[in-house]
Structure 1
Amino acid sequence: MTSFYPVDPDEPPGPPGRGRLGRPLGPIVAQCPAEHRAWLELVRQAYLESGLTMTVLSRRVHMARSKISELMSGRKYPRWELLATIAAEVRLPAGPLYRLWRQAAPEIRRKSRAWSAETAATVAVQHSPPLHHTGFRDLTESGYGFYASVFLPGPARAAAVEETYDQLWLAWAKALSSPDIRRHGWGVLRTSVMSRTPHIDNCHHFLHTAFDTLALHNLSGLEHAQAASEQLAETQDLLRAMSRLPAPQLDVIVLRFLGGMTEDEVSDLLGVPLAAVRSDERHAIRFLDSVLCPPPDTEGTPS
């Protein structure tokens, strides 16, 4: 096969992890967008676990080491045909990787006609996900979808959930070896959702859809404009206070009080003990009460 890039001399594969031959991978560049980074980190991890050196990978994919390093650093967005070749060598399934790559591509490249034609003509090899992955999705998809809907509008919500399951598929062995696959999966989902969530007021999370839902619910039956206005203000205050909660407490409150889930259901979805759910809920409510219903100021009151 004729190479399109200069290929470096042969070198035997090195052992995976520490002690491997060749130069270590450089870091991903800071300006690499979140959706690009989402799949790139998984490709890098698969390469490190493969035991291949950069030289051996260069020979196998017929690409110069400098080009592979550029791809692995996120400095440029690769064509699918190049990424697919590397994915095959490091044993990553093409289907979920292609979806992640395609999802990130419009955010990074201005698609010319040639780019669009190349993308449209590319067909990813479709594989069925592992059976356990399918079962895990069946058990969690409803909860994941609701959580994403609290922070994101429709298209972004669907993209975050799909990205979560594709990332889990690409690193399914790692997910299975984690202390609790439910907790591992929740961490992947939360990262995907928050990377798309608008932020205001010192990076607090703005609960986009939650405001619409609560406002409509609370305003039902209110006939006077003043009462409606006051109710809207209270809803805004509540969500603004919720946005200041630490991540575990925010998640529990969202699932319990916006999603109507029981403590046991929250515990199962998050993969945390029931006692932790109750503790997070208790601390969150205490904080919200302190913000929304502060004690009266008694300073200067005559004794």
Structure 2
Amino acid sequence: MTPSHPVDPDEPPGAGRGRLGRPLGPIISNCPAEHRAWLELVREAYLESGLTMTVLSLRVHMARSKISELMSGRRYPHWELLKAIAAELRLPAGPLYRLWRHAAPEIRRKSPAWSAETAATVAVQYSPPVHHKGFRELTKDGYDFYAGVFLPDPTRAAAVEEAYDQLWLSWAKALSSPDIRRHGWGVLRASVMSRAAHDNNGPHFLHTAFDTLALRDLSGPEHAQAASEQLAETQDLFRAMGRLPAPQLDVIVLRSLGGMNEEQVSDLLGVPLAAVRSDQRHATRFLDSVLCPPPDTGGTLS
């Protein structure tokens, strides 16, 4: 009987589809975040497929060395090649094309030929799964707000759209996760934080909107001192918030800056109410200790 797929000469007789062949090398350290957004999901699909590099190269008619370069991030592929690989790995072309196209401009600066190719590429027509559309409708406002705390437009919009495309590209995994809301939040948070500026205190907050809100009643020269003090307090608060662990930071951002109630935060993050309350309590206690430390008595008790 003729085998259903090409025989891999690297694969010993009787080996099953679970054999992965030679392990993939790591993604290069300087691979841009936008490139990683789709590359990590393609690598994951390849590892889960059971295919070896030899079989994949035979199916897409490309040398194994070239596919290896693609999988490591050293080579940015033409769309037709990536689409062929996606078909073998059963990945939806629509979100992959959007992620590929978003990452391509940074690479194209080094090679003007990319512009002509992309301009000639016909956009993939697609429609996400019904459940994905529903999930997006339920989470979009919360995702937009959170991204806007750390990122300006159009970076904010790009981070949110990337998260939804990543979720769609791995929708089966999202659906099989213990809680799709928690899974989705992890994807959104990673997309935002990969673009946010950081220092030793953690991520930088986008101060403008909150400073404006805090200072709107302190305009004019007669309020200059109060405005300066308010601005300093706001900046101190954001620096302290940046030092919070991720779960506590997310809860305090959504509760204190976003004005969400506990139930709304629980629904968006996909965590129990008790966890939201615990994270808020610990975050508030830490912020109080940093911003309002107890007075130093300057002596010891006898």
Same fold by TM-score, threshold 0.5 exceeded?
A: yes
Q: What residue number does 2:212 align with? A: 216
Task: Name the CA distance, whole Å, in 1 between partners of 2:105 and 2:231.
Answer: 37
SS at match of 1:154: coil
> Whole-Å Cα distance in 2 between the matches of residues 203 and 90 of structure 1?
41
Q: Which residue of 1 aligns with 2:292?
A: 293
Is residue 2:151 matched to residue 1:172?
Answer: no
SS in 2 for 1:272: coil
Moved more, 48-57 or 261-270: 48-57
1:11 to 8, 13, 21: 8
Q: Which amino acid letter does the alignment assign opposite residue 170 of structure 2?
A: A
CA RMSD in angstroms comes to 1.9
Q: Distance in 2 between matches of 1:113 and 1:30?
A: 24
Larger mean Cα displacement after TM superposition, 218-227 or 266-275? 218-227
**Structure 1 residues 236 and 23: alpha-carbon distance in aligned structure 2, compared to 1, 3 A threshold:** same
Moved more, 29-38 or 231-240: 29-38
Moved beyond 3 Å, runs of 4+: 12-17, 300-303
- Are the equivalent residues in 1 in contact too, given 2:182–2:271 (CA < 8 A)? yes
Name structure 2 gaps, 5 residues minimum: 1-5
Q: CA deviation at 1:124?
A: 3.7
Corresponding residue for residue 4 of structure 1: none
Letter in 2 for 1:226: Q
Q: CA deviation at 1:111?
A: 5.3
Residues 77 and 109 in structure 1, CA contact (< 8 A), matched pair in contact too:
no
For 2:204 and 2:233, how far apart are their aligned partners in 1? Answer: 15
* Residue in 1 that maps onto 2:71: 72
CA offsets 1:100-156 (integer angstroms, 9 cap, x no match): 111112223425442111011112432211111111111101100100000000111
2:234 counterpart letter in structure 1: T
Q: Could you tell me how far 1:203 is from its partner in structure 2? A: 5.4
Letter in 1 for 2:176: S
Secondary structure at the counterpart of residue 279 of structure 2: helix
Aligned to 2:3: none
* Amino acid aligned to 2:213: H
Matched, 1:262 2:258: no
1:223-242 correspondence to structure 2 within 5 Å: 223-242=222-241
- Aligned match of 1:91: 90
SS in 1 for 2:250: helix
Residues 101 and 301 of structure 1: CA distance in aligned 2, closer, same or farther (over 3 Å): same
Please give the residue correspondences for 1:129-278 in structure 2 after superposition, counting only pairs within 5 Å. 129-200=128-199, 202=200, 204-208=202-206, 211-222=207-218, 223-278=222-277
Contact kept? 2:148, 2:156, Cα under 8 Å: yes
The reply on whether 1:43 has 2:42 as its aligned counterpart is: yes
Q: For 2:301 and 2:39, how far apart are their aligned partners in 1?
A: 66
- How many percent identity over aligned positions? 79
Q: Distance in 2 between matches of 1:27 and 1:281?
A: 38
Q: Do the aligned residues in 2 keep the contact of 1:204 with 1:244 (CA within 8 Å)?
A: yes
Distance 1:21 1:130 in 2: 30
Deviation at 1:302, TM superposition (A): 9.4
Shift of 1:16: 4.4
Given that 2:151 and 2:195 are in contact with CA atoms closer than 8 Å, whether structure 1 keeps it comes out as: yes
Cα pair distance change 1:199/1:21, threshold 3 Å = closer
Sort the Cα spacing of 1:29 and 1:293 in 2 relative to 1 into closer, same or farther, 3 A.
same
Corresponding residue number in structure 2 for 1:125:
124
Q: Distance in 2 between matches of 1:22 and 1:279?
A: 46
2-structure distance, mates of 1:256, 1:108: 39
Residues paired across the two proteins, number: 290
Distance 1:205 1:59, change over 3 A: same
Secondary structure of the structure 2 residue equivalent to 1:76:
coil
TM-score (norm 2): 0.91
TM-aligned CA distance change 1:203 to 1:126, over 3 Å = farther
Distance 2:274 2:238 in 1: 25
Give the counterpart letter for 1:148 in structure 2.
Answer: A
Taking structure 1 as reference, are residues 203 and 124 closer, same or farther at Cα in structure 2, changes over 3 Å only?
Answer: farther
Give the Cα–Cα distance (whole angstroms) in 1 for the partners of residues 44 and 25 of structure 2: 13
CA deviation after TM superposition for structure 1 residue 10, in Å: 4.6
> CA 1:300/1:248 → structure 2, altered by over 3 Å: closer, same or farther?
same
Task: Note if contact 1:161-1:189 (Cα within 8 Å) is conserved in structure 2.
Answer: yes
Distance in 1, Cα, partners of 2:31 & 2:170:
21
CA distance in 1, matches of 2:37, 2:20: 26
Residue type of the alignment partner of 1:54: M
| Aligned-partner Cα distance in 2 for 1:253–1:21 | 43
